[in-house]
Structures are given as structure tokens and as C-alpha cells.
């Protein structure tokens, strides 16, 4: 056995594949953290990295994905130019083939988004596809999405290059050194117990590939990561390629679920077969290193006929080698890069189905989070806390299989994939399902999006306006005229109680918090850099007794922050699974509720705007809040789940006299856009501060102190760089989508964060952060939607009831303002 390890490191990175190497590199080179260690159980790259097909592309489903891939390309290009340690990196260009009109729309949207991030992509027609790849048969194609920087790289070369640079800076590497356990000291430090000795460290990173849960279990967690067997084959040399003076581009084809690139003078062809197979579900042998799974090309036979039609030259060449190795997947196909939920100072870089192509960016994101608490880019796309307790191994397996089978099929708007559904439901699910609910999921919870007009109604997944458009308009019109009810499942809710609760919350919030019992306020919490971290509804229920509510998706994100900042005297109780909200909204909402509450006062005078009251409906007890995300007179009924069905039946029965209807999440999204209300992790992201987001009224700079105050003051003094603006888009075929580029006088000046149709004002709306100087302009804006530029007019943030009279109600004289 070689020499023992050093006994201390600031950070221990576990795993010597591409992910661990990138985190190691970025900590040492970008941030100067050289008192760190990388620990690998075998040789570097001995997991999935060594057998990777190693394609490096700018393709990405969102802005963060594109940014991290572009960073990877820039970093890899720089490292590949090291004359002393050269390795292969080929830029061939690449194309994703389009066979349907929906794919054309998708690619045109993605091209616009990518170019808005600085890429230079284009959508090309079938003749150009054939011109750029002489082996392809363009029959049946509608075109392709072209990426000029697509290419392939030596996976071992880039991994060793990053580790070498970090070692040269002074960081330590310990190969052939398995981690045997991880324990924790009373002061919070970790002890990483390895074969060659113990390492005490402040922070630990799990970057262990398909062995992710062997190390996860040492930290007391199970990560939602499953490995899938994946096959590609290498052909014998091909005369057609030998005759060319350049390498052919990479192909990715959703029709037959395959990719193809050149490897020497042959082709490498990878297949995403529908009859796919998981790996390691019953454990992985300690001896499985630099190893492969048994060949099983028969699984891919259903794909082969289409592949041969697309690339006829393959019919005349032999297969030289078959590679079948494990790669990792998560529930949504995106990686887990960031803090491990519930384990302070523990991080992960795992679930990397596209590890080689993305990990240069993964390392950048995680190193920035470790050092500064946040990345340059909003990293919710990769945040491990986006999955919560529902994400068990079995669910992860189901979703990983589904995602593998849809590898080249981007998730489209209005698309609801079926695997792993019903993970989280309320007692009302079967009731609403019988009533025709169209279901989507939010943090695993089934939530009604809208209600079918007929049992055979089907919604088309598309970037364009679809069949739901008139139905959503009808749901909104009905509640606007009379009254509607919506279930909000999974709303994130914590009870915060104990000595010092009010003082602690006041320090976290950048504005005012509710000071009187029964008061409700919308609040914003910033990080230490003065950027937006959390949006919360705080209700004061007693002295040092509050309810904290936030987006369903924020459950573990907010929990971790609250738990790591709260005083020991404060008790946090999780309530997302114990209570459900019914929203009763519309002109007759007060009348309906009053009819069920003869001994309660629902009047504007007795139960004013932004108040919370314990109320009785029939013989059910609820906590009611007079708040509105719709802009109508509205009440949230927070109901213990054991009485949820009771309250529903009471409302349903009494509601007949008030023309009670149902509405869903689509209607709520439309209405919040009209009111200027922002969406967490769409419009509210940690790349911007609350002043840039137009949330000045929720910031009190006269407070003695709050988290992020000094950084926010510095940003204001320097001059905030962006402004969130609202646009009316002159497009009647489609809404704007997140990532769509915004132009002023022909130059790009920003990107859309969210968009949709406002049915009460009949306007197509979009929100976008613009550069601050351009945000002062009024005219000459366009937004590119599905490849077409549409005129866009800058408008006020709140376009529906700007004085907010409807939620306050004119039942009796109410103060304006």
C-alpha cells in the first residue's frame, strides 16, 4: 500500500471521474482552494468516464444548461491546447434531426434561446442536412438543428488534464483508495475514512457516478439516481469516410433514437432502445471497475432498421466493437449539482447522463456554490433539493427508464409524461379526476391544470396555443362573474414557533414582516450577495408563532435555509403533507363562504385584506387567509387533510346557489401574469436582486439590518444592471416561453422569463429582464417566438385592476391604496 493520506483537507471530493475532476479543478484553479483532496477507489476515469461516447455539444433545454455546456467547450478547448499533454478534441458540428412539425417548433425555440446565450446555431433544411453529412439519407426529414461547436473529445484526456492542473496548484490526489465510511464530529467537520487513512474536512463532495448511493448511504441519504445500461457500437473502417477530407458531423435522431459520430475512419453509433435495462439495482460488485455489462445488441434490433435507412452505408460495414456500460439518470434527466438536502456542508455532482459534455460547467457551478453560496447562473435546474421525500429508488427507476426512452425528445409545454405518477395525492384526487381534471405534477404532487369539457378531450403538447386556450378562458370568466374553486396541493408550509421567532424572521426578510396577530404579508428573503433567494407568505398566528408558506417546489430548498439559520429555541414543523389549500375566488366568494359560516364574519370590515383567521365552515375548522394570486376577491382555506373532503362537499353543495365552478393551474398562471405577480424560479431567480425585479415595495433599506443588506446597498450604489419588464406580444399563434430572446432595434437586450395569455385583458404577455439602460426605451422591441420575430410593446406590470380594488372588495367602503 502506498503512503498514507494527509489527515486534513478543506474539501474532500470523492470520485475521480469527469465530475469529480471538474469540481477539483475549479476549486483549485478558479478559487485558489488548494488545501483539498480528491479520493478515487481505483484509477481516475474507471467508472463511466472511460467508456463514454464523449460528445460535447451546446444543445441544452434551458439557459443554465446551455451556459454550462458552453463553459465546458471553452475550458476543454483551452486544456486541449496544452502542448506538453495533448489529447484529441474534434469540432465537427452536429445536428439534431427533425421529423415532425412539433420537433421543428421545438428546435426553432431552442435555437433562439441558445443564440440568446451567445451561441451561433441555426435551423437548416433537408438539402443542407444532406450537404453537411454526405452519408445521410434526407428522405422524410423536415430539417435539423445545427450546432457548429458540436464535437467529441478524449474522455480520459480531459479528466486527467483537469486533475493535473489542480495537482500542479497544490491539491492532493489519492488513487486506489476506496472510501470506507464517513462520520461527523461534534463541531460539524466530516471524517472521510479511506483505505489509506482518515481525512478530516470541512466539506465533502459526492461525485461517485454509478456508486452514488454507496457514498450517499454513508451520509444518511439516498439520492434519486439510477443507472441505465447504454450501448454503442463501433464499425469497421468505411471507404466513404476514408474518401472525405474532414470528419462528418454528429447526428442525433429522435425518430429512431440513436446518435452517430465518426471514430477514426468508422462510425460510432449509440442507441436508446425502448426495451432498456437498469443497472446495479441489487448492488454493484466492488470488482466492477473499468468494466462493462454483457453485450446485448438484440435489445436494439427495433431501432436498427430505421438507423440503416437513415445511414445506408451502415448496411455494408461490419461491427468492430460493442460497448455496453452504465450511465446515470435522475428523475427529470438533469444532474444533481449542489447541496445535499438535509446535510449541511455536503454537496454532490451526480446523475450525469451527459457527463463529458456538461461537467466542465458542473464543476464551475458547484465550486461557486461551495465558495460563494451561489453560482453565477441560477442553478435551480441542477439543484438536488428540487426532489423531496417522494423521490424514492423505485420512482427514480421508473422515471429514468422513461427519460432514457425519450433521450432525444425534449419535454414540451403541455406534455404530461405518465411514468411514476400518483406519487403524491390528496384525498380529493379521485373526486377531481372524476370531474375531468387534466393533471400535472408539482414537486411530485398531482395538481389539476384545467378541467376537460368532454370526457374524450385531449390536449396537444406544443409550443403554440392549443385546445386548452378557450377552456381556460371559460374557467376564468366563470369565476370572475360568480365564484370558482381550485385545489392547491403540496403548497409548502412550515409552522415556526418558539422564543425569538419574530426577531429571526425579521432579520431574514428584506422588508416588513407581519407584526400583528392575524396579519399576512408577502416577504422576500435574500442571500448574502443581496440576490433573491426565497419568496414567502408569512402569517402571524400568535406571539412568536408564524406560518411560512412558499412554492411547492421550494419545500427542501427553503427548509434547508431555515434550519441552518434558525435559533435553537425555534421549532420548525413541516406541514406540506398534512394540509391542503382550497382557493375560493371570484365576485361571489365571500357570499358563498358566509353561507356556510353563520357564526363567522367574512365581511370586508370583519375579515380584511391580507388577514388570517381561524374560521368554521359547517362543522369543519380551517385557517382562512384573505389573499389573492388571481387578482379577484379570493380566500385561501388551509385545511387539515382529514377534513379536506368534508370542506369540498360543503362548498360543492352550497356552491350550486352561487354558480360555483372549478378552475386549475393554467387559469391561475394566466391571472397572475395580468396582475404582475412573479413566479419563483422563473421570474424570481438568484441572478437578480429585488430592485431589478421591480419589488422595491417589499424592501426596507431603513431596517437596521437584514441578510444581504450590505450587498444590496452596494449593488444599488453601483447601479443595478437589469430591469424586469412586462410586454404585450403581438402574436396570436403562440405565447412567449422562458428563454425566448428579446430585441431592441435589432440587437438582443434580454430574455423572457415567463409568458402566457391574459384572458381577462385579451393580451399575450411576457416578462423579461432587460439591460437597465435599454429598459428605459419604449418602442422598437421584438420577441423571437418559434423562430419568428413578433412586435412587443412594453406595458405596465399590473394590467388588471391596478388599484387592487377587487381583492379588497367594495362590499362596503374600503380605503384605497
pLDDT at 2: 53
Three-point CA angle 116, 766, 754, nearest 5°: 70
- Cα(673)–Cα(502) distance, integer angstroms: 32
Residue 221, classed as helix, strand or coil, is coil
Residue 118, classed as helix, strand or coil, is coil
- Cα(759)–Cα(670) distance, integer angstroms: 7
Q: Give 323's contacts (C-beta < 8 A, 6+ positions apart).
A: 51, 231, 232, 233, 234, 292
pLDDT in tens, 324-347: 999 999 999 999 999 999 999 999
Q: Answer for the pair 320, 380: CB distance below 8 angstroms, yes or no.
A: no
Q: Answer for the pair 540, 496: CB distance below 8 angstroms, yes or no.
A: no
Element housing 779 (H / E): none
pLDDT in tens, 142-192: 999 999 999 999 999 999 999 999 999 999 999 999 999 999 999 999 999
- Cα(463)–Cα(632) distance, integer angstroms: 28
Nearest-10 crossing angle of helices 63-80, 355-372: 100
pLDDT in tens, 266-283: 999 999 999 999 999 999
Q: What is the mean pLDDT of the chain?
A: 96
Q: Give 231's contacts (C-beta < 8 A, 6+ positions apart).
A: 270, 271, 273, 295, 296, 297, 299, 300, 322, 323, 324
Q: In three state form, how does the secondary structure of 714-731 look?
A: HHHHHCCCEEEEEEEECC
User: Which among 63, 100, 108 has a CA at the least distance from the CA of 784?
Assistant: 108
Instruction: Identify the band that residue 809 occupies on the pLDDT scale cut at 50, 70 and 90.
Output: confident
User: Which among 229, 231, 236 has a CA at the least distance from the CA of 266?
Assistant: 236
Q: Answer for the pair 63, 157: CB distance below 8 angstroms, yes or no.
A: no
Element housing 184 (H / E): strand 179-184
Q: Answer for the pair 124, 143: CB distance below 8 angstroms, yes or no.
A: yes
pLDDT at 3: 72
Mean pLDDT of 761-768: 98
Asked whether the predicted pLDDT for residue 461 surpasses 80, the reply is yes
Asked whether the predicted pLDDT for residue 446 surpasses 60, the reply is yes
* Per-position DSSP letters for 322-390, written without gaps between them: EEEEEEEEESSSS-EEEEPTTSTTEEEEE--TTHHHHHHHHHHHHHHHHHHSS-SS--GGG-GGGS-TT
Three-point CA angle 237, 242, 243, nearest 5°: 145
- For residue 576, the Cα-to-chain-centroid distance in whole angstroms is 20
Residue 710, classed as helix, strand or coil, is helix
Q: Answer for the pair 793, 739: CB distance below 8 angstroms, yes or no.
A: no
pLDDT at 702: 96
Rg (CA), the chain: 28
Residue 759 is classified by DSSP as: T
Asked whether the predicted pLDDT for residue 812 surpasses 90, the reply is no
- Cα(796)–Cα(181) distance, integer angstroms: 57
Task: Report the DSSP pairing between strands 197-206 and 346-350.
Answer: parallel
Mean pLDDT of 774-789: 96
Q: Answer for the pair 42, 233: CB distance below 8 angstroms, yes or no.
A: no
Q: Answer for the pair 144, 129: CB distance below 8 angstroms, yes or no.
A: yes
Asked whether the predicted pLDDT for residue 479 surpasses 70, the reply is yes
Asked whether the predicted pLDDT for residue 630 surpasses 90, the reply is yes
- Cα(28)–Cα(20) distance, integer angstroms: 12
Residue 266, classed as helix, strand or coil, is strand
Asked whether the predicted pLDDT for residue 772 surpasses 60, the reply is yes
Asked whether the predicted pLDDT for residue 811 surpasses 70, the reply is no
Instruction: Identify the band that residue 810 occupies on the pLDDT scale cut at 50, 70 and 90.
Output: low
Q: Where are the alpha helices (DSSP H) in 627-704?
A: 644-655, 665-675
Sign of the dihedral through C-alpha 12, 355, 52, 302: positive
- Cα(538)–Cα(541) distance, integer angstroms: 10
Mean pLDDT of 660-676: 98
Alpha-carbon separation of residue 383 from 365, 465, 598 (angstroms): 10, 30, 48
pLDDT in tens, 540-599: 999 999 999 999 999 999 999 999 999 999 999 999 999 999 999 999 999 999 999 999
Q: Answer for the pair 99, 142: CB distance below 8 angstroms, yes or no.
A: yes
H helices then E strands: how many in the chain? 19, 39
pLDDT at 720: 95
User: Which among 612, 628, 638, 629 has a CA at the least distance from the CA of 539?
Assistant: 612
Asked whether the predicted pLDDT for residue 32 surpasses 90, the reply is yes
Asked whether the predicted pLDDT for residue 787 surpasses 70, the reply is yes
Residue 739, classed as helix, strand or coil, is coil
- Cα(395)–Cα(419) distance, integer angstroms: 8
Element housing 106 (H / E): helix 101-116
Q: Answer for the pair 84, 131: CB distance below 8 angstroms, yes or no.
A: no
Among residues of the chain, what percentage have pLDDT more than 70? 99
Nearest-10 crossing angle of helices 101-116, 63-80: 60
Amino acid at each position: 500500500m502506498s503512503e498514507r493520506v494527509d489527515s486534513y483537507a478543506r474539501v474532500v471530493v470523492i470520485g475521480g471521474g469527469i465530475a469529480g475532476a471538474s469540481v477539483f479543478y475549479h476549486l483549485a484553479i478558479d478559487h485558489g482552494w488548494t488545501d483539498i483532496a480528491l479520493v478515487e477507489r481505483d484509477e481516475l476515469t474507471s467508472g463511466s468516464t472511460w467508456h463514454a461516447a464523449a460528445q460535447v455539444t451546446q444543445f441544452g433545454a434551458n439557459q443554465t444548461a446551455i451556459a454550462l455546456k458552453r463553459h465546458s467547450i471553452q475550458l476543454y478547448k483551452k486544456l486541449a491546447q496544452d502542448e506538453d499533454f495533448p489529447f484529441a478534441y474534434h469540432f465537427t458540428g452536429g445536428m439534431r434531426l427533425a421529423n415532425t412539425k412539433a420537433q421543428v417548433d421545438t428546435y426553432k425555440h431552442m435555437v433562439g434561446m441558445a443564440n440568446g446565450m451567445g451561441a451561433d446555431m441555426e435551423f437548416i433544411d433537408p438539402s443542407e442536412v444532406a450537404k453537411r453529412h454526405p452519408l445521410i439519407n434526407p428522405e422524410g426529414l423536415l430539417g435539423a438543428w445545427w450546432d457548429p461547436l458540436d464535437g467529441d473529445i478524449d474522455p480520459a484526456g480531459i479528466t486527467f488534464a483537469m486533475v493535473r492542473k489542480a495537482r500542479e496548484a497544490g491539491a492532493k490526489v489519492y488513487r486506489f483508495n476506496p472510501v470506507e465510511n464517513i462520520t461527523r464530529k461534534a463541531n460539524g467537520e466530516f471524517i472521510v475514512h479511506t483505505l489509506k487513512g482518515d481525512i478530516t474536512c470541512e466539506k465533502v463532495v459526492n461525485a461517485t457516478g454509478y456508486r452514488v448511493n454507496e457514498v450517499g448511504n454513508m451520509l444518511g441519504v439516498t439520492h434519486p439516481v439510477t443507472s441505465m445500461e447504454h450501448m454503442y457500437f463501433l464499425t469497421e473502417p468505411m471507404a466513404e469516410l476514408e474518401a472525405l477530407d474532414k470528419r462528418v458531423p454528429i447526428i442525433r435522431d429522435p425518430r429512431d433514437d440513436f446518435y452517430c459520430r465518426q471514430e477514426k475512419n468508422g462510425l460510432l453509433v449509440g442507441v436508446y432502445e425502448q426495451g432498456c435495462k437498469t443497472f446495479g439495482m441489487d448492488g454493484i460488485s466492488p470488482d466492477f471497475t473499468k468494466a462493462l455489462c454483457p453485450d446485448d445488441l438484440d435489445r436494439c434490433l427495433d431501432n436498427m432498421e430505421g438507423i440503416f435507412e437513415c445511414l445506408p452505408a451502415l448496411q455494408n460495414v461490419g461491427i468492430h466493437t460493442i460497448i455496453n456500460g452504465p450511465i446515470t439518470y435522475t428523475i427529470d434527466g438533469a444532474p444533481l449539482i449542489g447541496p445535499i438536502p438535509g446535510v449541511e456542508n455536503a454537496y454532490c455532482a451526480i446523475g450525469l447522463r451527459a457527463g463529458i459534455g456538461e461537467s466542465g460547467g458542473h464543476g464551475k457551478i458547484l465550486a461557486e456554490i461551495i465558495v460563494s453560496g451561489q453560482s453565477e447562473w441560477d442553478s435551480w435546474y441542477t439543484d438536488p433539493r428540487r426532489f423531496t421525500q417522494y423521490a424514492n429508488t423505485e420512482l427514480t427507476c421508473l422515471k429514468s427508464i422513461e427519460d432514457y426512452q425519450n433521450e432525444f425528445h425534449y419535454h414540451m409545454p403541455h406534455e404530461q409524461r405518465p411514468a411514476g405518477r400518483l406519487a403524491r395525492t390528496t384525498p380529493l384526487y379521485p373526486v377531481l379526476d372524476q370531474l375531468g381534471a387534466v393533471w400535472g405534477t408539482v414537486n411530485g404532487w398531482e395538481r389539476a391544470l384545467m378541467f376537460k369539457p368532454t370526457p374524450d378531450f385531449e390536449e396537444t403538447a406544443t409550443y403554440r396555443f392549443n385546445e386548452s386556450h378557450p377552456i381556460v378562458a371559460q374557467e376564468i370568466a366563470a369565476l370572475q362573474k360568480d365564484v370558482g374553486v381550485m385545489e392547491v396541493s403540496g403548497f409548502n408550509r412550515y409552522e415556526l414557533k418558539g422564543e425569538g421567532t419574530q426577531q429571526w424572521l425579521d432579520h431574514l426578510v428584506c422588508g416588513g414582516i407581519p407584526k400583528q396577530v392575524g396579519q399576512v404579508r408577502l416577504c422576500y428573503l435574500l442571500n448574502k450577495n443581496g440576490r433573491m433567494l426565497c419568496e414567502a407568505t408569512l402569517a402571524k398566528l400568535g406571539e412568536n408563532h408564524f406560518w411560512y408558506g412558499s412554492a411547492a417546489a421550494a419545500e427542501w430548498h427553503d427548509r434547508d435555509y431555515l434550519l441552518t439559520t434558525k435559533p435553537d429555541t425555534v421549532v420548525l414543523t413541516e406541514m406540506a403533507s398534512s394540509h391542503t389549500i382550497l382557493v375560493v375566488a371570484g365576485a361571489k366568494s365571500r357570499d358563498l363562504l358566509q353561507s356556510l359560516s353563520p357564526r363567522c364574519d367574512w365581511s370586508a370590515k370583519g375579515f380584511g385584506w391580507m388577514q388570517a383567521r381561524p374560521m368554521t365552515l359547517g362543522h369543519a375548522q380551517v385557517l382562512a387567509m384573505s389573499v389573492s394570486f388571481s387578482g379577484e376577491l379570493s380566500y385561501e382555506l388551509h385545511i387539515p387533510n382529514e377534513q379536506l373532503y368534508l370542506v369540498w362537499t360543503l362548498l360543492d353543495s352550497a356552491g350550486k346557489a352561487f354558480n360555483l365552478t372549478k378552475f386549475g393551474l393554467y387559469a391561475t398562471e394566466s391571472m397572475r401574469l395580468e396582475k404582475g405577480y412573479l413566479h419563483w424560479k422563473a421570474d424570481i431567480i438568484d441572478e437578480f436582486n429585488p430592485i431589478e425585479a421591480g419589488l422595491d415595495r417589499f424592501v426596507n433599506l431603513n431596517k437596521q439590518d437584514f441578510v444581504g443588506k450590505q450587498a444590496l446597498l452596494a449593488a444599488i450604489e453601483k447601479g443595478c444592471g437589469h430591469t424586469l419588464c412586462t410586454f404585450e406580444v403581438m402574436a396570436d399563434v403562440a405565447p412567449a416561453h422562458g428563454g425566448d430572446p428579446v430585441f431592441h432595434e435589432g440587437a438582443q437586450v434580454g430574455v423572457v422569463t415567463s409568458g402566457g395569455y391574459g384572458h381577462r385583458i385579451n393580451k399575450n404577455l411576457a416578462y423579461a429582464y432587460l439591460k437597465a439602460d435599454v429598459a428605459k426605451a419604449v418602442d422598437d422591441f421584438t420577441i423571437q417566438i418559434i423562430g419568428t420575430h413578433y412586435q412587443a410593446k412594453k406595458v405596465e406590470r399590473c394590467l388588471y385592476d391596478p388599484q387592487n380594488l377587487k381583492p379588497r372588495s367594495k362590499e362596503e367602503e374600503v380605503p384605497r391604496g
